[in-house]
Amino acid sequence: MYDVEKIRKDFPMIVNHPELIYFDNGATTYKPQCVIDALTGFYNDYTSNVERGEYATAIRADQAYARTRDVIAKMIHCETKEIVFLSNITAVLNQIAYGLSKNLKKDDTILISYAEHASNVLPWFRLKKELGVNIRYIPLDKEGNVILDELEKIFDDSVKIVSLAYVTNVLGSIQPIKEMTEIAHRHNALVAVDAAQAIGHLKIDVRDLDVDFLGFSSHKMCGPDGVGVLYGKYELLQKMEPIFLGGGMNARFDIDGNVILKDAPERFEAGTPHIEGVIGLTAAAEYLMNIGLDHIHAYENELRAYLIQKMLPLDNIEIYNPNNPSGPVSFNVKEVFAQDAASYLSTRNICVRSGNHCAKILHNLIGVDQSIRASLYLYNTKEEIDRFVEEVSKITLEETISIFL
């Protein structure tokens, strides 16, 4: 039995600020007390660097840091050595693009989509500029879902990489990653998945999906900021060149410039990592797994269906993704600029995101540049949705102007 009231008590932001309705979980999530305790535990009891010290607190930090790799590997079903810690999904996608660029040449093709976040567009655009690779766009329906029947048609021998969000950040489409990977592999292309909006919302099994790379940010799954996870098939990680060079990632170097790198995952983790953040991520992953990702997913879908059912009758709004079963709800209030509507909601203690949500080529699909995004998570409630919908129903051009007077 999913007990949302019990879950809410675990989150100090909810306990300390019961007046706030936080529907901006796509941007970042609240942190449960156990994550905060993991961070303060490190600061209070065993602050030290990792993989450098022989004394007791350093060894304790080593063990806690290493344990996160085990826990995340268990969460997404891979081997511990296939988990790399970077600073966020943006760093992960840049690492993948940089690493794979070494095997790309002019006129090779990379497939992405109009619904991608900047982090999964700009690293590939750089390769277009520097190497002359082609960027081709995967066919999507009006709510951003990959049209599988048309996908095969855009493959040819030039396609080397497919890089796609598992769940898109504005329309919330859950992409058919497994089927897409099967097609990509038949064409000898590698698959990278941006799971920023999927992690912590649904069960992810990288072995079953058979993807080559997958990444996410800790802060979007109740964990600390500043930690990103890169999963890669081990043989691919071993062949991939790291972006960052420095301490911790090399096995040896000499005065002639000969450098021997460590094996993955360490070869990608140059310099002192965000130790306490990585340790805090264990607490977040265990917290979510204890509740059960299937339960979280089912609860979120129920909340979303409730939100859509309450919003559809409102005639002052236009919703862009009413039929997607999951993910954020993106909409506009007719005749009102998205940021003004969000500012109005803020005066009612409601937190939503407005703007283009870093998905700056999505307007090619939905026809508008700016929207309001309400993104729900495991601790939101139907009562919050009732209050939210009541406030949204009151938004008019006159109301939003009045808040600026």
Catalytic positions are 358
Q: Is 88 in the site for ligand PLP (CB under 6 A)?
A: yes
Q: How far is the CB of 294 from ligand PLP (least distance, A)?
A: 22
CA–CA gap between residue 366 and residue 113 (Å, rounded):
13
Quick one: 50 or 89, whose CB is closer to ligand PLP? 89
Residues 163, 189 contacting (CB under 8 angstroms): no
Nearer to ligand PLP, 26 or 99 (CB): 26
* Of 321, 314, 299, 318, nearest in space to 382 by CA: 299
CA 99: distance to chain centroid? 20
From residue 212 to residue 251, what is the string marking binding to ligand PLP with x (rule CB under 6 A)? -----x----------------------------------
Q: State in angstroms the smallest separation of the CB of 196 from ligand PLP.
A: 3
360, 118 contact by CB (below 8 A)? yes
Beta-bridge partner residues of 21: 350
CB of 123 to ligand PLP, least distance (A): 11
Cα-to-chain-centroid distance, residue 204? 12
**Span of 116-124, 142-150, 254-262, 370-378 interacting with ligand PLP by CB under 6 A:** 116-124
At 53, list the tokens. 């010290």
How far apart CA 30 and CA 8 sit, in angstroms, is 10
> Which listed range, 2-10, 100-108, 194-202, 325-333, lies at the site for ligand PLP (CB under 6 A)?
194-202
The correct pick among 94, 169, 371, 380 for binding ligand PLP (CB under 6 A) is 169
Q: Which of 165, 193, 230, 374 binds ligand PLP (CB under 6 A)?
A: 165
194 binds ligand PLP (CB under 6 A): yes
321 lies in the binding site for ligand PLP (CB under 6 A): no
196 makes contact with ligand PLP (CB under 6 A): yes
Query: Cα dihedral sign for 243, 249, 254, 255?
Result: positive
Identify which of 295, 284, 275 has the alpha carbon closest to the alpha carbon of residue 34.
284
